[in-house]
Amino acid sequence: MTDLQRTATSGFENAFGSEPHGLWTAPGRVNIIGEHTDYNDGFVFPMAIDRRTVAAVRRRDDDRIRVSSSFSPEIVEVSVRALDPDALHGWSAYPLGVAWALGQFGAPLQEVPGVDIYIDSDVPVGAGLSSSAAIEASVAVALTEIWHLDHDRRTLAKICQLAENRAVGAPTGIMDQSASLLGRRDCGVFLDCRSLETDVIPLGFEEHDLELLVIDTRVEHAHVSGGYAARRASCEAGAAALGADSLRDVTVGDLDRARELLDDETFRRVRHVVTENQRVLDTVRTLREHGPTSIGELLVASHASMRDDFEISVPELDLAVETSMAAGAIGSRMTGGGFGGAAIALVPVALASSVAEAVTAAFAEASFTAPTIFPVRPAAGATRES
Ligand code: GLA
């Protein structure tokens, strides 16, 4: 049992006064490439990471569902028969939202037994590593088993996305939940967000002695409000003006026409998504043909597109990318929704500490808050642990 699983077990016992029946875990993720493409029906290529959330769960004999967590001392209690996405708030909206969303996908919530759930996690919150998807996925696999449901992982990703969209109120796509549910050791998850077809592709980081550094800028972001929804709205407006169902149907060859039809800002939003879809396809092909040391330029081009066209970077992320590249990284880019959060740098293991030191020094020089820098490994998706 890991330390985290042990603290989750004792947290459960302190909150509810008995032992959990089982522990289910799910990882956070970093996105290797494919940003703001998921809700445009496009392509993404994230990986699950070795930072996980634990859901310790015990079945009850009545209809109550109680949730508690290491994030806050409160215990939130509702009837599983009366779950209402509009009445959920705070962190408990994630686990309770998943229970509600399972009902939307056919779980007989009028019959299933109640549960006690305790959540603990070592996925940093607010860093763009999908701590929220990790909670959702851990609870989804736990309840699927306890309630004897038979949803496959792709359906569970949709269920978790529905929880995030309706119960939490964040208009996000399906990437994070898919990565958390489908990841595999040393692999990335190539996902077509239109068909939901997935291909789990070996990254070869272990064989090539590469490491992925997360550079958490500690500029906190949130997707419930602000820029994320505005970007999504621009993409939808751009697609409509071009007569497309979604930006998935617009190609690099259509961009000249798009420039004539769209205002400058909408055009640049569209250009980011269209070129980013192409970069995901190019990354997967390059990885297969030439291995992970050849994908660096695509990662850097993705960052430039988010900085200049989609305008979701911040000075801290740009500095993290520039400095890690100057210090010898193979590739680097911001990851996740943007407006803060983390950058990633793909580095040879031998250079990891000098890249980290260079970034830390550059942040100090710029008088930015010191970043938190740590390596992550591509890890397995959600699973039962005990
Ligand atoms: C957040 C969302 C994802 C995706 C990314 C941007 O992580 O949760 O669905 O849209 O931003 O690529």
The pair of three-digit structure tokens given for residue 227, joined into one six-digit string = 């820029």
H helical segments located in 242-341: 255-261, 264-290, 296-305, 315-326
Q: How far is the CA of 64 from the centre of ligand 1 (A)?
A: 32
Asked if 273 and 293 touch (Cβ cutoff 8 Å), the reply is no
Mean pLDDT over residues 260-282, rounded? 98
Check residue 127 and give its pLDDT.
85
Answer yes or no: is pLDDT of 126 > 90: no
176 in active site: yes
Over residues 355-376, the pLDDT tens digits come to: 999 999 999 999 999 999 999 9
Mutate which of 125, 161, 223 to test ligand 1's pocket (most atoms within 8 Å of Cβ)? 223
Asked if 193 and 37 touch (Cβ cutoff 8 Å), the reply is yes
Mutate which of 37, 129, 176 to test ligand 1's pocket (most atoms within 8 Å of Cβ)? 176
Over residues 90-122, the pLDDT tens digits come to: 999 999 999 999 999 999 999 999 999 999 999
Over residues 282-307, the pLDDT tens digits come to: 999 999 999 999 999 999 999 999 99
Q: How far is the CA of 21 from the centre of ligand 1 (A)?
A: 33
Find out whether the beta carbon of 279 lies less than 6 Å from any atom of ligand 1: no
Is residue 223 very low, low, confident or very high in pLDDT (cuts 50, 70, 90)? low
Asked if 373 and 356 touch (Cβ cutoff 8 Å), the reply is yes
Is residue 221 very low, low, confident or very high in pLDDT (cuts 50, 70, 90)? confident
For the packed helices 153-162 and 93-104, what is the interaxial angle rounded to 10 degrees? 120
Is residue 225 very low, low, confident or very high in pLDDT (cuts 50, 70, 90)? low
Find out whether the beta carbon of 337 lies less than 6 Å from any atom of ligand 1: yes
Catalytic residue among 41, 116, 120, 176: 176
Q: How far is the CA of 247 from the centre of ligand 1 (A)?
A: 16
Check residue 128 and give its pLDDT.
86
pTM attached to this predicted model:
0.97
Mutate which of 33, 172, 236, 306 to test ligand 1's pocket (most atoms within 8 Å of Cβ)? 172
Over residues 150-181, the pLDDT tens digits come to: 999 999 999 999 999 999 999 999 999 999 99
- 323 residue type, one letter: T
Check residue 316 and give its pLDDT.
98
Over residues 20-72, the pLDDT tens digits come to: 999 999 999 999 999 999 999 999 999 999 999 999 999 999 999 999 999 98
Find out whether the beta carbon of 120 lies less than 6 Å from any atom of ligand 1: no
